[in-house]
Amino acid sequence: MLEKIRQYFIFGDSAAKLYGLAILTGLLASLIIIAFRLFIDYGQILLFPSGVVEDFENLPWHWIVGLPILGGLLIGLLLTGLKPEQRNTGVVHVIERLTSHEGRLPWQNAVRQFIGASIALMTGHSVGREGPSVHLGAASGSQLASFLDLPNNSVRILVACGSAAAIAASFNTPIAGVIFAMEVIMMEYHIASFLPIILASVTGTVISRVTFGETAVFANLSADMQSLWEIPYIVLMGVVIGGLATLFIRSLDFFSQLFKQRPFWLRTTFAGVLVGLAGLFMPDVMGMSYNAISGISMNQIALSALLILMLLKLFLSTACVGLGIPGGLIGPTLVVGASAGAALGVIGAFFFPDLSSSMTFYAVIGMCAMMGATLKAPLAALMAMLELTGNPNIILPGMLAIVFSSLVNHDYFKQDALFLKLLRTRGLDFRNDPVTQTLRRISVANAMQRNFIIMSRHVSTQAAVHALDSNPDWVLIKEDREPVALMPAGDLARAVSTEEQEEMDLMQIPANRRNVHKISLHTSLHEAVQSLESHHVEALYVTRMTAPMIERTYGILTRETIESHYQLPYAVTAKHQ
């Protein structure tokens, strides 16, 4: 029965199967994210003397110092002895697996992400929960696809579905979840991916709202622009925050290289030391720091405190992640942006009291600009702020601030997107050109030629004549039970008409034979092209294990077949002309 279900998902109607699987992925991802959030919250309730979540400011001083150090040491000991790829977590891990492993995410890394991020957030490390949530949601889609034995192009879409559902469930932002999955995770927009990702995001949002309620996360930050005369100041604000985004990325790069040759547990413990010492000075920098954003909304933070919070949060969050703490950076970018925006709002109100909007308004615009510039995801940042605040009036100034912060960060300082920077820091290549995008979306199961026959190298002329009765296009030649060549069936027909011997050697008759290599039914055309190049062959035969030690050949894939699905006269064949 399971094999029949798998056959349907491989060869059945792709749209119907993806819509149903997208909803199921959204459900799985949202349930895992809810469990993740509740585990952290109840862990802090049980751990803290006050029994209040994120209540670091009321902890005794030795708790403030000791908790993050203990958390860093514990994380380090848990992950010590593992290979670097086994410690990889977060959004970077998801992008890496999409780039190099067609979205196949190991469940072991997801378990380490759940445990490691929970310890980090419970003990006050200056990280976010959204990055780990994306990993957990993406892993949900990947594991579901692996269980159903889906082709890799479908795996990629379900990974994006899980990521969208995770963001939607974390922030209560269905639109931002979709845009984030397309902009940051898949780094492409394609209509075939949109509908399943939307379904997953909506599912994640519904489950989250049933559990945590419908209130926007930062509804108390809703505020409007007072005057169009503020536009020049918003442009200046975008420029300043673009510089902060550059500092954020360079700080992450610095801490990623720091103590790289030291034991892993020592690096994570050092991160705890930094957080503990900074927490003595300002407890608001510990944990996710969303309480600080609430303080900004009530105008309870002075300018000096805003600047200190901005700088400490920037350096501590990049230090934690750079030194190996399995936490996220999306939340910290919001806190840094809110602090910077609010500080600029205070300064603007001092010089232009009659024209300036509230500090709350500038905090929201700051979050937009910082998130958009660091992640290189302007639409995701804008939609996130729109849904987080429930205020459509931030769209115009938010767009303007995002444009100029992105110009400064990406065009002037030439910085990569935050997660691509981390990817390249780990020595991993990233390729996402239009050709690659298109080939990754097409499964070999949808492109292969199925009209073929399999024949042994030595065959009787009568058997060859009988085999040709089915009018095949190709003949796959086997020797010692392994395919060794592919030839057009027309060449065999010509040989049969002139052959005088009772037995034929298919490797000796006049024919246009092509050397072949095996490829899995699950792979995409992108992997097929890579296999053609790496094995220096001219054709592929597509197989799948249907039972232990039983392998079935499903089809034939040639360069011409690939070109018929996407015109690659130069990318695919130029090297062989």
CA triple 115-34-378, angle to 5 deg = 95
**SS3 for 519?**
strand
Give the Cβ contact number of residue 228 at 10 Å: 10
Q: How far apart are CA 361 and CA 363, in angstroms?
A: 5
User: What backbone phi and psi angles, to 5 degrees, belong to 557?
Assistant: -130, 120
Place of tokens 């499903």: 554
pLDDT confidence of residue 165: 97
| Domain boundaries 443-576, CATH class | alpha beta
Which residues of the chain carry a pLDDT beneath 70?
1-15, 192, 216, 219, 222, 427-434, 566-577
Distance of CA 304 to the CA centre of its chain: 37
Question: At CA 423, angle to CA 81 and CA 310, rounded to 5?
Answer: 95
Spatial contact of 196 and 157, defined as CB atoms under 8 Å apart: yes
Q: What whole-number distance in Å separates Cα of residue 394 and Cα of residue 375?
A: 19
Spatial distance between the Cα atoms of 116 and 326, rounded to a whole number of angstroms: 6
User: Tokens standing for 372?
Assistant: 């958009």
State residue 189's pLDDT score: 75
Query: Cα 293 from chain centroid?
Result: 27
Q: Where are the domains of the chain?
A: 2-432, 443-576
Q: Strand pairing of 458-460 and 503-505?
A: antiparallel
CB contact at 8 A, 402 and 485: no
Q: Structure tokens of 326?
A: 């399995």
pLDDT of residue 391: 82
> Helix %, strand %, coil % for the chain, to 5?
65, 10, 25
Taking Cα atoms as reference points, which of 166, 242, 232, 234 lies closest to residue 201? 166
Count Cβ atoms below 10 Å from residue 568 Cβ, excluding itself.
Answer: 17
Query: Whole-angstrom Cα distance, residue 133 to residue 139?
Result: 10
Place of tokens 């709202």: 209
Supply the pLDDT for residue 577.
Answer: 37
- Residue among 159, 147, 150 at smallest CA distance from 26: 159
Residue 358: HSE in the Cβ half-sphere, 13 Å Cα cutoff: 14
pLDDT tens figures, 115-152:
999 999 999 999 999 999 999 999 999 999 988 888 88
Per the document, the length of the chain is 577
Give the homologous superfamily in CATH for domain 2-432: Clc chloride channel (1.10.3080.10)
Are 380 and 176 contacting, i.e. CB atoms less than 8 angstroms apart? yes
The values of phi and psi at residue 149, to 5°, are: 60, 40
- Distance between CA atoms of residues 573 and 147, nearest Å: 36
> What would the two tokens of residue 175 be?
């639109």
